[in-house]
Amino acid sequence: MGVATLCTVTVTGTVGLVVVNAQVSVPQDPTGLIDATIDLPAPLPDLVLTGLPCPTLEPIVITIPGVLSLTITVSETPAP
């Protein structure tokens, strides 16, 4: 059996006046995609990401001016 690959999802930015800096590691599926749920600080809901490539070639940026600004990166790390 091969060594599983973990992907680290990092989310940084702001939602309203709340600063977000969160990270989670998830296993990569055989297609190279990942699903991840990021716990954001209360009272914000969790950020659910599905079908992201691992790793991403460039950061993913989500922006709604005056409301939120998030940068999402996905990096690949061999599992121990």
Q: Give the start-to-end residue ranges of the domains of the chain.
A: 5-75
Buried b (16+ CB within 10 A) or exposed e, 23-61: ebebebeeeeebebebebeeeeeebebeebebbeeeeee
What pLDDT score does 1 carry? 46
What are the pLDDT tens digits along the chain (80 aa)?
A: 455 689 999 999 998 888 999 999 999 988 989 999 998 887 788 999 999 999 999 999 999 898 889 999 999 987 66
CB 47 within 8 A of CB 11: yes
pTM metric for this prediction: 0.85
